[in-house]
């Protein structure tokens, strides 16, 4: 089962969670209000007949909860991508094209892939280390390998949730390459050299 993560796209206005691909409506609205000194209210969008009709239409399409409001101190309202496109257009027509791009891109799938191949790389590390040293590797080895690969792709402190689709694809590819090199029991120096060469290939 995939853990839920929040993907930050471009800026704080566009936040999407990996669990169900829903977008944070509050984040978009708050960002718009701050930047434009406006006071748009989410409730005004929700109570329009057009919104109500669209929500009902989405339900007939099998989307049981097109809009989910979470209560509490850090509660937020999350919208299905289809509804979020409509909401973004209600907030500002300029947002519509951006949101459609985010809905259609493969960012979340690429993040899942990067996580899967990180696990595969770690499994390879465990197998080879145990074969050589007859014990489990210390935790810092996994972190060191992950940070090394990350440094070949980006030069910032970006978390995976802030990476672009291209960056995640590159990390996935390098994790595959690294797992293969580790399985061959190559030295770290040789692996780093080959990984640097692989990093120059744009995936």
Q: What is the pLDDT of residue 123?
A: 92
State which CATH number among 1.10.530, 1.20.140, 3.10.260, 3.40.1550 fits the domain covering 6-104.
Answer: 3.10.260
- pLDDT tens digits, residue range 129-145? 999 999 999 999 998 99
Q: What is the pLDDT of residue 108?
A: 62
Domain boundaries, the chain: 6-104, 107-199
Q: What is the pLDDT of residue 14?
A: 84
Those residues of the chain that have pLDDT short of 50 are 1
Q: What is the pLDDT of residue 158?
A: 77
Tell me the β-bridge partners of 24: 78
Residue with tokens 């197998």: 127
**Predicted TM-score (pTM) of this structure:** 0.56
Provide the residue count of the chain: 203
Residue with tokens 């049981």: 64
- How much of the chain, in percent, has pLDDT values that exceed 90? 46
Q: What is the pLDDT of residue 11?
A: 65
């Amino acid at each position: 089962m995939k853990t839920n993560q929040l993907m930050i796209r471009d800026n704080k206005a566009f936040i999407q969670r990996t669990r169900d691909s829903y977008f944070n409506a509050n984040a978009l609205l708050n960002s718009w209000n701050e930047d434009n000194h406006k006071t748009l209210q989410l409730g005004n969008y929700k109570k329009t007949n057009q919104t109500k009709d669209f929500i009902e239409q989405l339900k007939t399409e099998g989307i049981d909860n097109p809009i989910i409001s979470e209560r509490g101190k850090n509660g937020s309202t999350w919208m299905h991508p289809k509804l979020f496109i409509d909401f973004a257009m209600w907030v500002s027509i300029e947002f519509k094209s951006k949101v459609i791009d985010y809905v259609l891109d493969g960012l979340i799938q690429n993040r899942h892939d990067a996580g899967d191949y990180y696990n595969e790389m770690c499994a390879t590390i465990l197998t080879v280390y145990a074969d050589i040293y007859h014990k489990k590797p210390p935790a810092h080895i996994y972190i060191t390998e992950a940070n090394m690969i990350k440094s070949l792709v980006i030069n910032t402190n970006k978390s995976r949730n802030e990476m672009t689709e291209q960056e995640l694809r590159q990390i996935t590819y390098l994790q595959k390459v690294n797992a293969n090199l580790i399985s061959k029991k190559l030295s770290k120096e040789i692996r780093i050299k080959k990984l640097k060469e692989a990093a120059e290939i744009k995936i």
